[in-house]
A and B are shown apart, each in its own frame.
Chain A
Amino acid sequence: MYFTSLVSVTLFHRLLRNRAGESVATEHFIFLLASRIQNAEKFDEMKGNEMETAYNYKEVMSRRERLAPGHRMCAGCGGTVAVRAVLRALHPEDKAVVGNATGCLEVSTFMYPYTAYEDSYIHNAFENAGATMSGVETAYRVLRKKGKIGEEYKFITFGGDGGTYDIGFQSLSGAMERGHDMVYVCYDNGAYMNTGTQRSSATPQFADTTTTPAGTVSKGKVQIRKDLAAIMAEHHIPYVAQTTFTSNFKDLHTKAEKAIYTKGAAFLNVMSPCPRGWGYEPAELMNICKLAVESCYWPLYEVVDGKWILNYEPKNKLPVEDFLRTQKRFKHLFTPGGEELIAQCQAEVDRRWEELRRKCEA
């Protein structure tokens, strides 16, 4: 029966594992890289971060993978790293339904008849990951009340910045406002990467994208980024956090765990660089994330029950130029006349950083 063949594809992931090829090796490489950076530098000494449970790097990293290798994501892709890290925060004994907006992640991890997900998974469309998961979560509450489901499930849905900041913004806002017990994770790579790096409202100012190309007249994207984590915090949901990949993944892990195990709606914004859209060598991924944090381009913070908490304050705030320099999308800023544009970027980073500090001090 065709119906059966369409939906019961999940067990095929075992095939996927066996045929795991190059991209597996790449991802392992990134994690090796991560641990090397960890040993080299003490990047994990974060201030003001009161974690409920002690973070055990070895234990966390040795948890079973819930996103099986063998998928088709690029080498050096931040999206996959984000998904694996978030799913690792699920307690190994807990069940979950994973959701996904259309994007690189979806088309590369669930290409019929293979799925890379160990958990139940649903992709619906581009703009409705929030609404779709709110349907799943509501069904869970009813079926559990009726005694049809015994076990506890968690609900986590992933979307890129295009599917989250832009086309899925309304659906996300609705799901958060209704307070479904779910986590929405935006893996923010700052453009529509799946369709070939078109600008989104998450694209930073002056970035060269295929719809805001830098040219003789254009300097790349005109506008500054939308601040989605702040907008989500204004929904007054119990947990909002912004994070990215730090050397030992403590920040991301702890926030993902809090988001998953906080009752109610939670939002996680994970900066997830894209080697193709940003223009960097795969091995540069962790370094770029580090520079984003150390320059305060991408501050690590959380908003817990309305309280703004800054999780990390660099001892020596690096110039944003250091972050911009690592990526081809900003290379036109490093040509004559670019100083003024870089200064504008710096001013914007400073303004936002000060605003964030004020919120966190208040």
Chain B
Amino acid sequence: MAIRERLSGNEAVAYAIRQINPDVMPAFPITPSTEIPQYVANYIANGKVDTEFIHVESEHSAMSAAVGASAAGARVVTATSSCGMALMWEELYVAASDRLPVVMALVNRALSGPININADHSDSMGARDSGWIQIYAESNQEVYDNFLQAYPIAEHEAVHLPVMICQDGFITSHGVENILLVEDEKVKEFVGEYCPAHYLLNEKEPMALGPYAVSSYYMETKRGQREAMKNARRVILEVAERFEKMTGRKYGFFEEYRMEDAEYVIVIIGSAAGTCRAAVDHIRKESGKKVGLLKIRVFRPFPEEELAEALRDKKAVAVLDRSEMFSATGGPLGTEVRSALYGAKSRAEVVNYFYGLGGRDITVEDFEEVYTKLEKLAETHKAEDMYDYIGLRER
């Protein structure tokens, strides 16, 4: 029987870490992820886990130590946010190219400046090309469930890539919700032991890691990572299926809400999907207009084909980005979705809006307005504001 609890997103991740009992956790404090290492430190202080905590002096060292520990043969976890992850930047690439299955609990927060501690996705979206698998959550339940699935994906022999389990700073990390927890024994069985094929402390076979690779070898390394990322598509679904068998909770690359007959669709990542869902229900109830929601769970690898299939016959799509990328056009999610639809020869109208930067609230009314715009766009085929900001102060 599942355990019924009320936990914040950070508590839920820490609870999952206790259940998984990883070997090493190098971590550095930063709001809003700080609580996660604090909770783990408490577990350690009270003998609840075997995990060794490395009290690193920076996030760069956190990921450096994570690389060292993972290469040595340990199962490694770390947690961070925002600028902390930005300081890790170089090491994110090293972890991925060294093919180390490190798992990071990322609590999404805006990057400086100005300094801001609230939710947006600029940290993880900026790292979207680093070679990490990225899985996002709408709720505390999802971040817990995603975290339990992280190691089986990361450590799968066909993958061997680091995984980022993302949740929205404060909105889910500090918001307390009802949650269903899996029993410790079941988690242990589900996640399994980490037995790497190659590691530094293998007494039988010394290993050298982190070579200087000249042009004759570098490109093949990248192809190796690419193949692993492709394999991750299959593995993510397999692990989700196994998870469903254990818990009854179903996960895929994305979640479709009232999409069967939907004509106007919002594509979004993270906690704001909950607000959007309320807008969908409200519109359908009030006017019967066919609106739907597609919430991305897996952003890396990007589920291009599946997404295009789900969206290609819609009349109009609004992709909502919670991070800027200053192309002076769209955002990271918008660019990917548009590209997927182009590849699928879809004739759906697409707009790409920015919302919630630095924790700016987005309301049910805001979403309703987006759906109204989509309806108009489908009629006129003319987007008045292809790349707009939602909820700016001047309006």
Binding site for B on A (CB under 8 A): 2-11, 95, 97, 99, 106-107, 110-113, 115, 117-125, 127-128, 130-143, 145-146, 148-151, 153, 170-171, 173-174, 177-178
Contacts and interface: CB of A to CB of B under 8 A. Distances in A.
A121 B209 contact: yes
A150 B203 contact: yes
A32 B227 CA distance: 50
Given A3-B224, A146-B50, A174 B56 contact: yes
B68 A133 contact: yes
A301 to B, nearest CB: 27
Contact of A124 (B58, B64, B202): B64
Q: Which of A6, A99, A111 has the most B CB atoms < 10 Å from its CB?
A: A6
Q: Which of B55, B99, B208, B224 has the most A CB atoms < 10 Å from its CB?
A: B208
Contact of B206 (A107, A119, A140): A119
A148 to B, nearest CB: 7
Q: Which of A149, A170, A174 has the most B CB atoms < 10 Å from its CB?
A: A174
Interface in B185-219: 197-198, 200-203, 205-214, 217
A15 B193 CA distance: 35
B207 A124 contact: no
Nearest to B55: A178
Contacts of B56: 131, 134, 174
B221 A9 contact: no
B57 A120 contact: no
Nearest to B196: A7
B153 interface: no
A177 to B, nearest CB: 8
Contacts of A132: 64-65, 67-68
Interface string B221-256: 101100110000000000000000000000000000
Interface string B32-65: 0000000000000000001110111110111011
Contacts of B385: none
Contact of A145 (B50, B62, B207): B50
B65 A138 contact: yes
B26 interface: yes
Contacts of A6: 98-99, 221, 224
A111 B206 contact: no
Interface string B14-32: 0000000001101000000
A149 to B, nearest CB: 5
Contacts of A7: 98-99, 198, 207-209
B278 interface: no
27 contacts: A2-B220, A7-B98, A7-B209, A97-B201, A106-B210, A115-B211, A117-B206, A118-B206, A121-B209, A122-B71, A122-B200, A125-B91, A135-B24, A135-B67, A135-B68, A135-B72, A136-B68, A138-B65, A139-B23, A139-B69, A140-B201, A142-B74, A149-B201, A151-B203, A153-B201, A170-B58, A177-B57
Nearest to B161: A3
B160 interface: yes
Contacts of A117: 206, 208
Given A134-B54, A138-B24, A170-B58, A143 B74 contact: yes
Contacts of B220: 2, 5
Given A3-B160, A135-B66, A170 B198 contact: no
Given A7-B99, A97-B200, 13 more contacts: A6-B98, A7-B198, A113-B217, A122-B71, A122-B200, A124-B94, A124-B210, A135-B66, A138-B54, A138-B65, A143-B201, A146-B50, A174-B56
B175 interface: no
Contacts of A125: 64, 90-91, 94
Contact of B198 (A4, A124, A127, A141): A4
Contact of B209 (A123, A150, A171): A123
A178 B54 contact: yes
Task: For the complex of A and B, list the 7 residue pairs with the smallest distance between their C-beta atoms, beginning with the closest.
Answer: A135-B68, A2-B224, A135-B65, A174-B57, A139-B72, A139-B74, A131-B61
Contacts of A122: 68, 71, 200, 208-210
B72 A112 contact: no
B73 interface: yes
A110 B73 contact: no
A121 B209 CA distance: 6
How many B residues touch the partner, as a band? Answer: 35 or more
A111 B26 contact: no
Contact of A106 (B23, B55, B207, B212): B212
Nearest to A123: B210
B211 A113 contact: yes
Contacts of A119: 206
Interface string B80-117: 00000000001100100011000000000000000000
Given A97-B72, A125-B90, A134 B65 contact: yes
A10 B211 CA distance: 11
A135 B212 CA distance: 21
Given A135-B67, A135-B72, A95 B211 contact: no
Nearest to A111: B212
B50 A131 contact: no
Interface string B128-159: 00000000000000000000000000000000
A9 B220 CA distance: 15
B86 to A, nearest CB: 15
A140 B67 CA distance: 13
B208 A140 contact: no
B60 A128 contact: yes
A220 to B, nearest CB: 31
A106 B217 CA distance: 17
B109 to A, nearest CB: 23
A112 B214 contact: yes
B58 A174 contact: yes
A143 B23 contact: yes
Nearest to B53: A138
A142 B23 contact: yes
Contacts of B64: 124-125, 128, 131-132, 135, 171
Nearest to B216: A112
Q: Which of A7, A127, A140 has the most B CB atoms < 10 Å from its CB?
A: A7
A11 B26 CA distance: 31
Contacts of B61: 128, 130-131, 134, 170-171, 174
Nearest to A99: B68
Contacts of A138: 24, 26, 52, 54, 65, 69, 74
